[in-house]
Amino acid sequence: MSGSGAQGPNDNDGTERIAAIVIHDVAPATWPQCEALLGMVDALGAPPVTLLVVPHFHRGVHARESRAFVDALGARVARGDELALHGYYHADDAPPPRSLREFVARRVLTRSEGEFAAIADAEARERLASGIALFAEQRWPLAGFVPPAWQLNDATRRALDGAAHPFAYVPVRAGIHRLPGWQLEPTANLCYSPDSGWRRAMSRALIGREWRRAGTRRLMRLSLHPLDARFAEVVAHWRALIERALTERRPVTKREAMA
């Protein structure tokens, strides 16, 4: 994490440099960890945050069944945060992988969280519709669909194209698609895999590399996960990264970034 120096929010070509702080896997079960991360971010000048809501996380407590959760999200919307739809169950329960490559992608890299990686058409349509219905009933504005583990198959694309609700954007790991045309804007994307020492060390190295490459990108995404909150060193690193990003870039929600 050295290098980029005193770059202002505008690049040489006049493009404004922006940063989206994103909290993944927001659900009643993960809300205590999400709150801890939000407390850390809010203390850095209360920049806008994008919260990725999973309506029925791992088939546990449904979002609408927790009044406290729904109220807390309503308060975040009122202060200018964005809520985006992040899958429905956040679990890849499609038929088992049939090739080694598929196995690595679905079981090793994403640890069976890629709900929309291998989903069938009808199921994709149904889960999208259920997610859209939750946002509509809570009167939460909805612009983004973020597939869990940033993985989506063609059936999911078809379901998004045919959905009653017009989505504005769909992120993947390396960038964000702008709908309805599916143009991909490459972005920087910082992300932790925190749950073992070697994964944390690898994450630090990848984040450092991503940061150095970010200078050429209009948008930097800082992708925080509830699990990150369990490790003090990870939270401290995020605090430093966000602090620094805010000196170089204007904080925005993803919706604003893709408007």
Residue number, 24 or 221, with CB nearest to Zn ion? 24
Query: Nearer to Zn ion by C-beta: 90 or 249?
Result: 90
Q: How far is residue 222's CA from residue 41's CA, in Å, rounded to a whole number?
A: 11
Tell the smallest beta-carbon distance from residue 148 to Zn ion (Å): 4
Neighbours of 115 (CB within 10 A): 27
Number of residues that bind Zn ion (CB under 5 A): 3
Q: Is 25 in the site for Zn ion (CB under 5 A)?
A: yes
Helix crossing, 67-78 with 31-42: angle to 10°? 20
CB closer to Zn ion out of 173 and 213: 173
- Tell me the longest C-alpha to C-alpha distance in the chain: 51
Judge whether 114 and 151 are in contact, CB under 8 Å.
Answer: yes
Contact between 228 and Zn ion per CB under 5 A: no
Q: In the complex, what is the shortest distance from the CB of residue 236 to Zn ion, in angstroms, rounded to a whole number? A: 23
Q: Which of residues 143-202 bind Zn ion (CB under 5 A)?
A: 148
Round to whole Å and give the CA distance between 115 and 119: 7
Instruction: Kindly tell me which of 111 and 209 has the beta carbon lying closer to Zn ion.
Output: 111
24 belongs to the binding site for Zn ion (CB under 5 A): yes
**Residues in 93-122 that interact with Zn ion by CB under 5 A:** none
Q: Is 221 in the site for Zn ion (CB under 5 A)?
A: no
Bridge partners (DSSP) listed for residue 177: 170, 184
Q: State in angstroms the smallest separation of the CB of 190 from Zn ion.
A: 15
18 or 191: CB nearest Zn ion: 191
225 vs 249 by CB, closer to Zn ion: 225
Helical H runs in the chain?
Answer: 31-42, 67-78, 100-103, 121-138, 154-162, 197-213, 232-248, 254-258
The set of residues, in sequence order, having a beta carbon less than 8 Å from that of 93 and lying 6+ positions away, is 115
Considering only residues 41 to 70 of the shown chain, the ones binding Zn ion according to CB under 5 A are none
Find the binding residues for Zn ion in span 120-149 (CB under 5 A): 148
> What is d(CA 107, CA 58) in angstroms, rounded to the nearest whole number?
16
The neighbouring-strand residues paired with 225 are none
CB of 4: closest distance to Zn ion in angstroms?
Answer: 28
Q: How far apart are CA 18 and CA 246, in angstroms?
A: 9
Binding site for Zn ion (CB under 5 A): 24-25, 148
